[in-house]
Amino acid sequence: MDINQKLYELRNTINYHNEKYYDLSDPEISDTKYDLLMQELKQIEKEYPELVTFDSPTQRVGGSAKREGGVKVQHKVPMLSLQDVFNKEDIYQFVNDMQSQFENPEFVVEQKIDGLSIAIRYENGDLSVATTRGDGITEGDDVTENIKVIKDVKGKLKEKVPYLEVRGEVYMTSKAFEAVNEQQELLGKQQFANPRNCASGTILQLDPNVARERNLSLFIFNIQDIEGMAFETHIQGYEFLKQQGIKVIENYSLCRTADEVWDAIVKIGENRGSLDYEIDGAVVKLNNLSYRETVGSTSKVPRWAVAYKYPPEEKETILLDIETSVGRTGRLTPTAVFKKISLCGTSVTRATLHNQDNIDNLDIRIGDTIVVFKSGEIIPKIKNVVIEKRTIESLLNNVSYKLPSACPVCGKKTVREEDTADLKCINPNCPAQLEKLIINFVGRQAMDIKGFGESFVVELIRKKYIKDIADIYSLFKYRDELVERSILGKEKNTDKLLENIDKSKANEAHKLLTGLGIPNIGKAAAKEILKHFKSIIELQYATVDELKQVSDIGDASAESIRSFFDDLNNQEIIRRLNEYGVNLNSSQNSNTDKRLSGKIFVITGTLPTMDRNQATQLIESFGGKVTNSVSKKTDYVVAGENAGSKLTDAQNLNKQILSEKELVDLLS
């Protein structure tokens, strides 16, 4: 078979099984067979490096391609910023200046996307390098691998242009941004302040898997350099890019007078509220490219373009109510509800108040006149209270709004998290937190039930099949009903998931303890606890003093455990788990050989026969500890294929490096 045909078929086969595994949760081949396909592809690409493509499974998500931090790319064309202007007079002055220098100049007016500026180079029609703005003059960061996984990025042009460099803006849609922040909350991580910060942080991190998962977008707004052809105008360049399949700025206007330019700016401003992404202004630029060369640039900005920044739009309204919702992590979020107003072309009736500290700073009370604004952002915010318009009732009340001391969903006590402004419901069985609890329970860090994706969790909770953790193990009773309603997919997929649920009953008890969602008790603490107690049943009756005898378990963790098992609902859940045959007994103290006690390991790369969890369990069974990063305290680094930067760190620190076989030999 022709080698190109062989590569084509191999890549298609691997991509097909990737989709079946990740998207449909319905793998058709074993992990071993999949690994063999990948190894065959890697071997061929190693022998024929000139045939490696950027979209090969070995290069994209699911493969091994990750960029190294700190790699710089020299700019061939400076990535200058734009001169900002803030009023109509400045726009007319710019247009008049250009008209005084050139005969009948044309102007392109387009949206100014609020994102991260990127330059992308194509050589002979193929994407070669992508770089951030960096210092704008000399160099930027190499972000090629992260750019390649953005759906809007064209990897290959339709024409084999010798060299093309384009400049664009990486951004996030409102929907993508909300999804990322929801996931951040689910994982207990800090949420991003706005879409721009999220897009920027995502592009600059090292793992292209993260960039793809966060669903970034891209608009191109300029041709920086091109060889083999020339254009007279900016719009001609856009038309060429669109022919190549490249996504350019939408809804631009071609104008000839200052009035037309201003009208186009006003129109963009009026419509920005209907966009599904953020803009922070409008750009006005000369259309004729030879005119641009004539006027040139300063050391900081081009003279042939300006960026108009819209003033923040704000309006007064009346605060009708403050609603409190409970998120997946138990965090209480107050939301202001006010009389409908129109901002940036959209009707607005609600704005988040974030937390009690923000409420206190605003001194906000129901019935107050408030000022709501949008400053180039999608999400409305409350600027201030108009004190002079405060009602007599509000003045007599003399107290700003206070968040409830009891959870509005389950009625249990709320507490303020230490060192934060967040008020939380700490009841793990609160219905508002059930999604997070179940997703954590079935996830890799806990019971690791394969194929039990987030969408299934949400649907099963919504359809009332799952009301607590123990209900997961009663799903087999509804097998025919689940198949008929296609809640878990077709018959094959449903049976596979039910089989995986049944298999999880045999898991180590520390996995179950991790999944119970007890505050302050993660994977490491759960393992340590069940080295001291024979079972979760025994743990259920341990006193606070007994719990504090466990390494790394302090007052707060011990109180959390005791509080969890004192709850009658939780006692019933443990009883039902035991009834369904879920393993509650610890086997961690079966190995008395603790030769690795005090030794710290790091595992990196793909091992030949063990996955990372298996290697970790092996090391920990002999008393060792596994951490995520290499430091001076690290004793051994276990390295497999595609070990990456952790192996480099180990070599630089002169740490002992072991293969999988050498690790096994060490313990034999």
| 617 has pLDDT over 70 | yes
The correct answer on CATH 2.40.50.140 for the domain covering 313-397 is: yes
**Which residues are annotated as catalytic?**
112
| 660 has pLDDT over 60 | yes
* Interatomic CA distance for residues 383 and 364, integer angstroms: 11
Q: Provide the percentage of residues in the chain whose pLDDT is more than 70.
A: 91
The whole-number average pLDDT for the span 86-110 is 96
Cut 0.75: pTM above it = no
Q: Domain 3-51 carries which CATH code?
A: 1.10.287.610
> For position 32, what pLDDT does the model report?
53
> For position 26, what pLDDT does the model report?
42
> For position 644, what pLDDT does the model report?
78
Highest mean pLDDT, choosing among 140-149, 203-212, 309-318: 140-149
* Interatomic CA distance for residues 174 and 275, integer angstroms: 9
Can you name the residues that pair with 337 across neighbouring β-strands? 321, 350
CATH architecture type of domain 74-308: 2-Layer Sandwich (3.30)
Q: Please state, as a whole number, how many other Cβ atoms lie within 10 Å of the Cβ of residue 574.
A: 21
Q: Provide the percentage of residues in the chain whose pLDDT is more than 90.
A: 44
Residue 318: half-sphere exposure toward Cβ, Cα within 13 Å: 7
The pLDDT tens digits for 531-565 are 888 889 889 889 999 999 887 788 888 988 998 89
Residues 6+ apart with CB under 8 A from 123: 162, 163
The whole-number average pLDDT for the span 67-82 is 81
Helical ranges in 548-599 per DSSP H: 555-566, 568-579
The whole-number average pLDDT for the span 170-180 is 90
Tell me the DSSP string of 439-493.
HHHHSTTTT--TT--HHHHHHHHHTTS-SSGGGGGGGGGGHHHHHHTTSSSSHHH
Q: Which fold has domain 431-588?
A: DNA polymerase; domain 1 (1.10.150)
The pLDDT tens digits for 348-380 are 899 989 888 999 999 998 889 999 987 555 678
139-141 and 72-74 beta bridge pairing:
antiparallel
Cβ atoms of residues 98 and 286 within 8 Å: yes
User: Which amino acid, residue 588?
Assistant: Q
Q: Domain 591-667 carries which CATH code?
A: 3.40.50.10190
| 275 has pLDDT over 90 | no
- Give residue 22's pLDDT band: very low, low, confident or very high (50, 70, 90): very low
The whole-number average pLDDT for the span 94-119 is 95
Higher pLDDT, 139 or 63: 139
Locate CATH 3.40.50.10190 in the chain: 591-667
Locate CATH 1.10.150.20 in the chain: 431-588
Long-range pairs of 363-366 with CB within 8 A, sequence gap ≥ 24 = 363/400, 364/319, 364/322, 364/336, 364/400, 364/401, 365/319, 365/390, 365/394, 365/397, 365/399, 365/400, 365/401, 366/319, 366/320, 366/321, 366/322, 366/394, 366/401
> For position 63, what pLDDT does the model report?
34
Locate CATH 2.40.50.140 in the chain: 313-397
Chain mean pLDDT for the chain: 86
600-604 and 636-639 beta bridge pairing:
parallel
Locate CATH 1.10.287.610 in the chain: 3-51
